[in-house]
Structure formats: C-alpha cells, structure tokens
C-alpha cells in the first residue's frame, strides 16, 4: 500500500516544506504539498502539519502528524469521533532544549547577558566580586521530567549541579537527586538557584506556576520557561521581576506569541527573551522525516502510529 501524504504549508514555521519532502524520498509514499485549506478532493491518507485548521476534520485523512510536541489546539474528541489518528513529535527535543537551558543558566551565572548589552555601547564593565558564580555546586529544580526535563537534568548533573525534579509519578529518574510530587511544588523550588519549567500544556499544568510559586523561590533564583507560555502566570512573573523577589528569568515561551512589543519583559536587563526557539536545530527536519517514515510504514501495515495522541 502506498500512502498519499500531504505536507501542510504551516510546516514553513519551522523549516521549508521542500526540505522535509526531499527527506521523505525514500518512503513508500506519494508526497505532495497540501493546500492551506483541505477538502476531500485532496485524496490524502496522511498529513504533516505545524498548525491546526478546521478543514482537517472533513478532508478524509486517516492520520495527522504535528511536527512539534504540543497539540493543545487540536480537537482530540472530534478527531477521535472521525477516526483520525493524531501523532506528535515528542521525544525529539531533549538535546536541543537541554542545551538551550544550560545556555541560559551559564549566561546568568557568568553575566553573559549583561556583557552582551554593554557591547553596543563599547562599555567595559567588569563584574563586582560577588556578582558572578559557577554552576558547579548550584541547585536546579526541573518541573516536568519528560523528554525535555530529562535532557536538562542530564546536562545539569554533568556540570556538577544538584538536581531536583517534580513529576506526577514516583518512578526514579536518572540524574535527579530528589523527586517531588506536584503537590509539593513550592517546597521543591524553595532551595533552587534555577527553576526550569518543562511540562506539557494540559488542563493540569495551565497556570501551574503563579504568584505563590514565585514567592516560594529564593530572591537570587532564576526562572526558566521552556514549557508553554500559559504554564506560568506572566503577570505574576512581571510583578516578581519588578519587585526583585526573584533574580531574573529566561523565557522561550509566552502567553501571547510573538511577545507583544508593549510587554515590559522586553526592557528588563535580567530577562532573556528568545522566540520559542529552544527546540530549533538543523537536524530537526531529518528527525521529523524519520518519525514520519516509520508512521507511513505502520499506517500501510495497519499498525498503530508511533507517538500516537489519538
């Protein structure tokens, strides 16, 4: 069975569709570019996409693959009712996100963010004797120990940091010294120099990190969010940063993306803003293609797709 596979133009958000199409040449499938809005005339078995469009529900596709881990805007019940399988790209981001988080932590520890701001003004501002520190011996609390969180924990441990983790299940996780349940979140973050949010966005995690959790952090602690914007209360975070109740934040995700120009976060020296780029890597199209190829094989064989959500 040859799979008729379409590539939705929204893939362009991460890489050119042509790059993915060329990476799929070896797959037993007919690969075409799909239209922005699909109709049953498209005659597709599967669709690879970044965004969701309501036309997907009635396009006659059997399977949709989203090229990111998040899928919160996809109507799972409606897909299930129509017998459409949905798979995502979880499991591919541990290395890139883990390295990005280490970059944030090193940047704050060594003052790199401040030096970069000084450079356009040719300002020579050495740090005060007590202004910088090393990561070795410092503590990090990783909230969420899936692919992203484990990628952070492995690298933090290698740098000599003490690693705590928050997850729903008590299963031991390599490179994590202490584990806490979600009910103990405030206790978990209380002693950490860095708090890293790495959970998926669900009904349970929306608004997970608010004013009370920020208040539980140390005054010299930094918040890192590589999860999703709504996991943290952005207004409460701005208040904490402006009041000095935490030392700073590195934010890759926001409640509204792109981050609006009027957001006070843009102008804060102790905040690093990145454009939802933690997962970006030149290897990403190839990794997506490998997952899509495997799912095409499974679909042709009548098997359940990998990374299945629905």
| Given the residues 8, 179, 228, 287, the one annotated as active site | 228
Active-site residue, 276 included: yes
| Given the residues 257, 283, 303, 308, the one annotated as active site | 257
Active-site residue, 228 included: yes
The distance from CA 144 to its chain's CA centroid, rounded to whole angstroms, is: 11
| Given the residues 155, 179, 193, 276, the one annotated as active site | 276
Polymer length in residues for the chain: 310
CB atoms within 10 A of CB 140: 27
CA gap 303, 271 in Å, rounded: 47
CB atoms within 10 A of CB 81: 11
CA gap 264, 169 in Å, rounded: 37
CA gap 237, 227 in Å, rounded: 15
CA gap 221, 50 in Å, rounded: 34
Token pair 């997850």 is at which residue? 167
Of 152, 149, 142, 213, the residue nearest 183 (C-alpha) = 213
Give the residue numbers marked as catalytic: 228, 257, 276
């Amino acid at each position: 069975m040859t799979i008729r596979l379409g590539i939705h133009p929204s893939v362009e958000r991460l890489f050119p569709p042509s790059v993915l199409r060329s990476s799929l040449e070896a797959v037993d499938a007919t690969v075409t570019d799909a239209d922005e809005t699909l109709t049953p005339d498209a005659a597709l078995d599967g669709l690879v996409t970044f965004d969701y469009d309501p036309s997907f529900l009635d396009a006659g596709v059997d399977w949709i693959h989203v090229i990111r881990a998040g899928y919160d805007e996809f109507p799972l019940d409606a897909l299930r009712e129509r017998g459409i399988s949905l798979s995502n790209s979880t499991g591919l981001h541990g290395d890139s996100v883990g390295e990005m988080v280490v970059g944030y932590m090193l940047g704050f520890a060594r003052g790199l963010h401040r030096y970069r701001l000084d450079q356009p003004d040719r300002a020579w501002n050495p740090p005060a004797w007590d202004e910088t520190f090393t990561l070795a011996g410092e503590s990090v609390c990783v909230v969420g120990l899936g692919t992203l969180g484990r990628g952070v924990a492995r690298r933090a441990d290698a740098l000599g940091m003490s690693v705590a983790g928050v997850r729903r299940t008590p299963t031991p996780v390599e490179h994590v010294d202490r584990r806490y349940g979600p009910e103990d979140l405030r206790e978990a973050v209380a002693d950490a120099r860095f708090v890293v949010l790495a959970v998926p966005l669900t009904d349970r995690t929306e608004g997970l990190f608010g004013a009370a959790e920020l208040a539980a952090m140390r005054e010299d602690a930094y918040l890192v969010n590589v999860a999703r914007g709504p996991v943290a209360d952005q207004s409460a975070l701005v208040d904490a940063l402006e009041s000095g109740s935490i030392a700073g934040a590195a934010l890759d995700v926001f409640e509204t993306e792109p981050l609006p120009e009027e957001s006070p976060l843009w102008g804060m020296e102790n905040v690093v803003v990145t454009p939802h780029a933690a997962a970006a890597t030149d290897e990403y199209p190839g990794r997506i293609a490998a997952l899509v190829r495997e799912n095409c094989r499974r679909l042709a064989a009548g098997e359940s797709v990998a990374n299945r959500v629905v």
